Amino acid sequence: MQEKSIDRWKSFESIESLRHGICEAIVKSANEAIAKRGRFSIVLAGGNTPKAIYSVLRDLPMNWSKWHIYHGDERCLPVDHEDRNSLMANQVWLNHVDIPAQQVHDIPAELGPVEGAKAYSETLAGAPTFDMVLLGLGEDGHTASLFPNHVVDNSTDAVPVFNSPKPPAERVTVSQNRLNNTHEVIFMVTGAGKQEAVDNWRKGIKIPATLIAPANGVDVYCFEVKVQ
């Protein structure tokens, strides 16, 4: 039986300070993981806040050859579609650093939700415990492509998503269990529109984000939402 999650809430006075704090945490995690295990495995999130963080990371003097990149979810769109999470990460960050191509593991969601999930599950089966997972929070409490009132499938590491309440309707998401198989989780929560989801979370009301409860707990970095 899984123990109650440990949630560490961190409030920031500006979006710049939040981004700086997250970058510092990623760098610290990467350096420690490489020192201990010889590699750093990170799961990326999509969205504007991560985009700004990735653009800062690309200019840092990191040991990029030891980084392994994964994605938490992806939209079932062509690989060159502007709404693909992988395209954004590649354009603002990954194309500018020396991470070996075979260590960047995009979700092949262009294959469709079923085949894309099957292929990514095979990729994740060969991956160790993640070192860090980055996640966002939707106004409805969703994270990755785990949505309210959707059955959570934990039968494989990556699962298909149909009828998403946010377009496009078809997606691939890493499963709850696989996202919990990590040493660290950072939620990035920005914008007053997330207040209801945060309030529900802090009251103990179950939302999709609360499914992510690894043994070490999660860190929630907040801007423009009250956490008192």
In a domain, 83, yes or no: yes
Task: State residue 152's pLDDT score.
Answer: 78
In a domain, 228, yes or no: no
Task: State residue 4's pLDDT score.
Answer: 55
Nearest by Cα to 125 from 162, 158, 154: 158
In a domain, 220, yes or no: no
Q: State the Rg of the chain over Cα.
A: 16
Q: Residue ranges of the alpha helices (H) in 38-183?
A: 48-57, 85-92, 113-125, 176-180
CATH number of the structural domain spanning residue 185: 3.40.50.1360
Number of domains forming the structure of the chain: 1
Task: State residue 126's pLDDT score.
Answer: 87
Range of the domain at 21: 7-213
In a domain, 79, yes or no: yes
In a domain, 207, yes or no: yes
Q: What is the pLDDT of residues 129-180, one digit of tens each?
A: 999 999 999 999 999 999 999 987 888 999 999 999 999 999 999 999 999 9
In a domain, 107, yes or no: yes
Q: Is the pLDDT of residue 2 over 50?
A: no
Task: State residue 1's pLDDT score.
Answer: 34
Task: State residue 221's pLDDT score.
Answer: 98
In a domain, 223, yes or no: no
Q: What is the pLDDT of residues 17-49, one digit of tens each?
A: 999 999 999 999 999 999 999 999 999 999 999
DSSP assignment letter at 41? E
In a domain, 59, yes or no: yes
pTM score: 0.96
